[in-house]
Amino acid sequence: MLTQEKLTDPSASFMQTMMSLFFTDEVTPYSGRKEVEALPPMETMVLGLMCLERTYNSEHFPNRLRFKYRSFSPRECGIFTEVGILGLVQRGYLRLASKRAETALNARDENVWGLGNVPFVVTAKGARRIGYLVADLRGGLYKDVVKELQAESREAAKSWWADVHVSMLG
């Protein structure tokens, strides 16, 4: 009966998620503070959703927020995406997938929230930081998930370039 309750109780997965994010090191009276400073809540949500949803493109990400979760207006999705992703890039958890991605990012309309159609790759540092959360929620071993996240994001970046190349030809 306890197992059944765990599956239907959303607080159980919430607690498991928070524990895996903020208590992976030695537990002290200040546990979690360093982790929150290294990965603030907005960036945690962005990186977590990117990895759990396998959505490593700044155009697909706000669409997922808007239509799957129905939690934000289109403007809020753009703000969330731009601020969260650029914060992750600045912290070294994500990087632009290529020089072409950098060109696409620089070509975006700065008067509109959002980043346009730009692929990102999860760095080793980012995969290690979010790996416990993803392993807990997807199921799997931490070390395997860390490798998978990096490989998935690289594959997504390759398909982005193929899609851009085809649209340029067509």
User: Phi first, then psi: what are they for 119, rounded to 5°?
Assistant: -90, 150
Q: What is the pLDDT of residue 162?
A: 61
Inter-residue contact 133 to 17 (CB < 8 Å): yes
Domain ranges of the chain: 29-169
| pLDDT value at residue 165 | 46
Tell me if 43 sits within 8 A of 87, measured CB to CB.
Answer: yes
Q: pLDDT digit of tens for each residue in the chain (170 aa)?
A: 444 444 556 566 666 676 766 666 666 777 667 777 788 888 988 998 899 889 898 888 888 888 887 878 888 888 888 999 999 999 999 999 988 888 888 888 788 888 888 999 999 999 999 998 888 888 889 999 999 999 999 998 888 766 654 454 45
Is the entire prediction scored with pTM above 0.75? yes
Residue-level pLDDT at 2: 46
In the prediction, which pLDDT does 88 show? 95
> Is residue 138 within 8 Å of residue 49, measured between CB atoms?
no
How far is the CA of 78 from the CAs of 55, 73, 93, in angstroms? 15, 9, 20
